[in-house]
Structure formats: structure tokens, C-alpha cells
């Protein structure tokens, strides 16, 4: 029994222990269930957190990427910023430099402002001074013009009283083919008050020869300037004077250039075309005052002591060797000169005369010498007769303008002529030496003046003999090889200049009988 009790006690113990164990098992089950619930919750939590972690990871990745981008951008911006900083510092330097320059310029401006003011003040002073000088200059110029006018008037009066032949000397420029002298200049032109424009000095073999004329034209003087000096003289032909202008000088010294000019170069036209233009212009300008003019032209040449009519339409017979017309010069009892059979043409304009001059130039005898291939070997005489009437004042004037281009004056040895050319040179020399004989006989007031010794002097008798206004151009070549000829020409001209030949007289109110040079 004891065993049973013991077994029962043991059974009870075991049941209690089983119950205990069941209870523990239940507790443990509920704990497991609770733990399972907790685990489930933890799992959910873990999943949520995982997903949160994934999201955060993705965000992080994005952030990382953006950070990288930002880093690149930052680098580039940093570079740009550095660049800009560099530029800005450069600009700053420039600005500084400009500011410095500005400051200097401002300083200078201030200084120049001061000096402008000073200059302006000085300028006003100077302006006043210049105005005063200008006024005095105008005054002096006026006095000078008045003085010159008076001088010319007195000069004219003296010349009229003395009855001189006036002499103008013209030296031409050296031509291209002439030697530019190595021995120094042959001619010089003193510039002192008294001598200026009137004196020419020639140096030969160390000796100086001085000559004074009414005017000396240096090589640079233009045709226009020469004409200005004779225009008054030309004008006096319209006022009723007999005017005679002739050119004297050796071959090639510029006689034809002075009288006719260079063909085809209007600005270089000579005294003859310029004189005619002036005469026809004055004729027009005097019309409103009632003046009417008639003009006639004749042109002749004296070649080998024979007269040729340069306007005759019938010159062939004499050129063929058969004798042509015998033109004879006659002075009638009342002093008029007549050349028989000479063609006289009425002219109305300078153009008409230019045409006739051109025709005459073609008809002239032209020969060749060693000195000038186109040398004119004859004396050329152009005559314009002027007859003017003013019906409103009942005045009449009768003037004559003679323009003469003489043949070359060189000596025989110089011209190198032979045969026909020698005959020409001898004839030219004869007539030119007759011209000097006449002039010197007049100068010495000899009873007999050998006008008849040559055709030239006989034709020009009225001009040379007294009552005309006569001007001689002595043309000079500057070529050193012509120095002896130049000296001869200057000596001749200066003796001519000293001659007293008479007093020019005006031919007015139809006193034609007074005229001694008129080919009517």
C-alpha cells in the first residue's frame, strides 16, 4: 500500500507536474503566439524600414548624382569666376591707368585753358596790330598805285617830249638743246630800286657790260606779262596815233615768238594776236559811246630787198622765177605812204585777222641756216589801219598799228650761210645796217637821213621820222655761244634807246593830211 500510496502520491505529483507543464506549455504557446505577433510586427516594421531604406538609398543616389553634377558645375563656375576675376583685375588696372591719364589730361587742360586765355588776349592785341598794319599797307598800296600812275604819266610825258624810240629788251629762256653754261651766268639783272626791271648786265671774258632800257624782261616773263606792258601803246592806235612795234635780234632769239607766239598754244600767243583781240574788244566796248570803227589789214614781207604781198592770191608768178608785181613805196606830198598794188582787206573781228595771219605765215619765205632751222629770212610787216568816227560828238580818228618781225640780225660768219642763204644774209644785213644808219643819222640830227637806202627804212620812214609812237623789242638769246651777237644787239638797242626822233602826234578830226604813215 505504501507503494500504491507512493505511486498515487507520485501520480498526483506527476499529474500536478503535467498540469504545470500544460500550463507552462499554454503560457509558452501564448508567449510564442505573442512573440509570433511581435515577430510579425517586427517583420512588417523591418519591411517598411527596408522600403524606407530603399527609398532613402535611391534619394541618396540621386543626391550623389546631383552633387557630382553640382561639383562639375561648380568647377566650371569656379573657372569662370577666376577668369572674370582676372579680367576684372585687368579692367581695374586699365581704369586706373585711364584715371591717371584723365588726371594728367585734366591738368594739361587746365594749363592750356590758362594759355588759351593768354593767347586769346595776345591774339586780340596782335589782331589790332595787324588791322593797323593792314590799314597802313592799304594806304601805302594806294599811294604806290597813285605814284606808279603818276610815274607812268610823267614817263610818257618825258618820252613824248624827248620823242624817244622806246626799247624793251627780252631775254628768252634756254632751249632744251642749248648748253647749260658751266662758266656761270652770262646775264644778270640788278635789282636795286633804280635798275630793277630796266637793267641788264652782260659778262664776257671777265668784263661786265651794263645796259639800261625802258624795260627788261627776264626769261621767266610770260607773253601775257609782256603784253600788259604794251597794251597802252596798242590802245593809242585806237586814239588816233601811229604806232609801230618791231622786234630786232639775231636768228632764234625769240622775235617771232614775241610777235606771233607759239602756234597751237593759246596761252603763249604773241603780241600781234593779243593786240588785235584788245583792239576789237575796245571797238565793241566803245560802241555805246557812239564810236564806229573801220579797220583794214595789209601784210607784206621784204625778202632780199623785194616786197612781197602776203595776202595776194596771185603770188605764183614771182615764185616761178618770172617777175611778179613790182610793189613800190611812195610817200605823197602830205606824208602818206602808199605801197602800190598791195592787197588791203577790210576786217571786222580778231578771228578774221587770225585767219589772215595764218595764211600770211604760210606764205612767208622760210629758209634754213645753221642757227635756226625755221628761221624767217625776211622782214614781216603787219599793218592795221583804223578809221574811227563818233557821230554824236563829230569826232574822227585815224590810227595805224604797224607790227614788224625783222629778219635775224646775225653776222655772216655766225650764220654759216653760203649761196642763196649768203645772198639773203647780205640783204638782211644791208637793210638792218640801213636801219641803224637811219637811226643814228636821226640821233645826230643830220640834214640827210638815208631812208632810201633800203626798202625797210623807206617803208618805215614815217615811223622813224617822227610823229609815231615807236617801240623796239631787242630779243636776246641766253645761249653762251651767242654772247658776241647778244652784245652787238644790246649795243645797237642802247644806241637806239638814246635817239630823239620827234614827238608823236595824234591824228583826229579827219586831219588825214598830217599822217605820214598811212597806206591809204
User: Where along the sequence are the contacts to ligand ATP (CB under 6 A)?
Assistant: 172-173, 175, 249, 251-257, 262, 372, 375-376, 407-408, 475
Q: How far is the CB of 384 from ligand ATP (least distance, A)?
A: 21
**Which residue, 200 or 442, has its beta carbon nearer to ligand ATP?**
200
Torsion (CA) 420, 301, 427, 163 in degrees, nearest 10? -160
All cell numbers assigned to 75:
568647377
3-state SS of the chain: helix, strand, coil percent to 5?
A: 55, 20, 25
Closest CA to 493 of 436, 437, 446, 441: 436
All cell numbers assigned to 484:
658776241
Question: 375 with 366: CB under 8 angstroms?
Answer: yes
**Which residue, 213 or 241, has its beta carbon nearer to ligand ATP?**
213
**Which residue, 376 or 434, has its beta carbon nearer to ligand ATP?**
376
**Sequence-distant (≥ 6) Cβ neighbours of residue 246 within 8 angstroms:** 402, 403, 404, 405, 406, 460, 470, 471, 472, 473
Residue 249 annotated as binding site: yes
CA 41 to mean position of chain CA atoms: 121
Count of beta carbons in the 10 Å neighbourhood of residue 87: 10
Q: How far is the CB of 432 from ligand ATP (least distance, A)?
A: 11
**Which residue, 335 or 367, has its beta carbon nearer to ligand ATP?**
367
**Which residue, 248 or 291, has its beta carbon nearer to ligand ATP?**
248
**Which residue, 409 or 497, has its beta carbon nearer to ligand ATP?**
409
CA distance 418 to 299: 29
For 219, which DSSP code?
T
Question: 304 with 367: CB under 8 angstroms?
Answer: no
Q: How far is the CB of 480 from ligand ATP (least distance, A)?
A: 16
Residue 250 annotated as binding site: yes
Q: How far is the CB of 125 from ligand ATP (least distance, A)?
A: 49
Question: 379 with 365: CB under 8 angstroms?
Answer: no
Q: How far is the CB of 415 from ligand ATP (least distance, A)?
A: 10
**Which residue, 27 or 225, has its beta carbon nearer to ligand ATP?**
225
Q: SS3 for 357-372, per residue?
A: HHHHHHHCCECCCCCC
- The alpha helices in 163-246, defined as continuous H runs, are 223-238
**Which residue, 217 or 387, has its beta carbon nearer to ligand ATP?**
217
CA distance 497 to 489: 12
Count of beta carbons in the 10 Å neighbourhood of residue 302: 26
Residue 64 annotated as binding site: no
Residue 351 annotated as binding site: no
Note the maximum CA span of the chain.
Answer: 231
Q: How far is the CB of 196 from ligand ATP (least distance, A)?
A: 20
CA distance 345 to 328: 19
Q: How far is the CB of 142 from ligand ATP (least distance, A)?
A: 33
Residue 14 annotated as binding site: no
3-state secondary structure of 294: strand
CA distance 135 to 145: 15
Residue 253 annotated as binding site: yes
Q: How far is the CB of 438 from ligand ATP (least distance, A)?
A: 21
**Which residue, 405 or 467, has its beta carbon nearer to ligand ATP?**
405
**Sequence-distant (≥ 6) Cβ neighbours of residue 454 within 8 angstroms:** 305, 430, 431, 434, 435
**Sequence-distant (≥ 6) Cβ neighbours of residue 515 within 8 angstroms:** 242, 334, 335, 336, 398, 400, 462, 507
Residue 255 annotated as binding site: yes
Q: How far is the CB of 407 from ligand ATP (least distance, A)?
A: 6
The annotation places the binding site at: 249-256
- Binding-site members for ATP are 249-256
Amino acid at each position: 500500500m505504501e507503494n500504491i500510496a507512493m505511486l498515487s502520491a507520485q501520480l498526483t505529483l506527476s499529474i500536478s507536474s503535467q498540469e504545470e507543464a500544460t500550463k507552462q506549455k499554454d503560457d509558452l504557446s501564448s508567449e510564442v503566439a505573442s512573440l509570433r505577433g511581435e515577430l510579425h510586427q517586427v517583420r512588417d516594421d523591418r519591411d517598411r524600414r527596408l522600403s524606407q531604406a530603399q527609398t532613402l538609398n535611391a534619394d541618396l543616389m540621386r543626391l550623389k548624382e546631383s552633387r557630382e553634377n553640382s561639383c562639375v558645375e561648380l568647377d566650371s563656375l569656379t573657372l569662370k569666376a577666376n577668369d572674370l576675376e582676372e579680367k576684372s583685375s585687368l579692367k581695374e588696372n586699365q581704369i586706373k591707368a585711364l584715371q591717371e591719364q584723365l588726371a594728367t589730361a585734366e591738368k594739361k587742360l587746365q594749363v592750356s585753358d590758362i594759355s588759351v586765355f593768354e593767347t586769346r588776349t595776345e591774339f586780340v592785341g596782335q589782331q589790332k596790330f595787324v588791322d593797323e598794319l593792314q590799314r597802313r599797307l592799304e594806304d601805302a598800296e594806294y599811294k604806290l598805285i597813285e605814284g606808279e600812275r603818276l610815274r607812268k604819266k610823267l614817263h610818257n610825258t618825258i618820252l613824248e617830249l624827248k620823242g624817244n624810240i622806246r626799247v624793251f629788251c627780252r631775254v628768252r629762256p634756254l632751249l632744251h638743246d642749248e648748253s647749260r653754261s658751266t662758266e656761270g651766268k652770262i646775264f644778270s639783272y640788278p635789282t636795286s630800286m633804280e635798275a630793277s626791271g630796266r637793267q641788264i648786265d652782260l659778262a664776257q671774258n671777265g668784263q661786265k657790260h651794263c645796259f639800261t632800257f625802258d624795260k627788261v624782261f627776264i626769261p621767266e616773263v610770260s607773253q601775257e606779262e609782256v603784253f600788259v606792258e604794251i597794251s597802252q601803246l596798242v590802245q593809242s592806235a585806237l586814239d588816233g596815233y601811229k604806232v609801230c612795234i618791231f622786234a630786232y635780234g639775231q636768228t632764234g632769239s625769240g622775235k617771232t615768238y614775241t610777235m606771233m607766239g607759239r602756234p597751237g598754244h593759246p596761252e603763249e600767243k604773241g603780241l600781234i594776236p593779243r593786240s588785235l583781240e584788245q583792239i576789237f574788244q575796245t571797238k565793241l566796248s566803245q560802241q555805246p559811246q557812239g564810236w564806229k570803227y573801220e579797220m583794214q589789214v595789209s601784210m607784206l614781207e621784204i625778202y632780199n630787198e623785194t616786197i612781197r604781198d602776203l595776202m595776194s592770191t596771185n603770188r605764183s608768178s614771182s615764185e616761178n622765177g618770172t617777175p611778179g608785181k613790182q610793189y613800190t613805196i611812195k610817200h605823197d606830198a602830205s606824208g602818206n605812204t602808199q605801197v602800190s598794188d598791195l592787197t588791203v582787206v577790210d576786217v571786222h573781228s580778231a578771228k578774221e585777222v587770225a585767219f589772215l595771219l595764218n595764211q600770211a605765215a604760210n606764205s612767208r619765205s622760210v629758209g634754213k641756216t645753221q642757227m635756226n632751222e625755221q628761221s624767217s629770212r625776211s622782214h614781216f610787216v603787219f599793218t592795221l589801219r583804223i578809221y574811227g568816227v563818233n557821230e554824236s560828238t563829230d569826232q574822227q580818228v585815224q590810227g595805224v598799228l604797224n607790227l614788224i618781225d625783222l629778219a635775224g640780225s646775225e653776222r655772216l660768219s655766225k650764220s654759216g650761210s653760203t649761196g642763196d642763204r649768203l645772198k639773203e644774209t647780205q640783204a638782211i644785213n644791208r637793210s638792218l645796217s640801213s636801219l641803224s644808219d637811219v637811226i643814228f643819222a636821226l640821233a645826230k640830227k643830220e640834214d640827210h637821213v638815208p631812208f632810201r637806202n633800203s626798202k625797210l627804212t623807206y617803208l618805215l620812214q614815217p615811223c622813224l621820222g617822227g610823229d609815231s609812237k615807236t617801240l623796239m623789242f631787242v630779243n636776246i638769246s641766253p645761249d653762251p655761244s651767242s654772247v658776241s651777237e647778244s652784245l652787238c644787239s644790246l649795243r645797237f638797242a642802247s644806241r637806239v634807246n638814246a635817239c630823239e626822233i620827234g614827238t608823236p602826234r595824234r591824228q583826229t578830226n579827219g586831219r588825214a593830211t598830217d599822217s605820214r604813215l598811212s597806206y591809204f
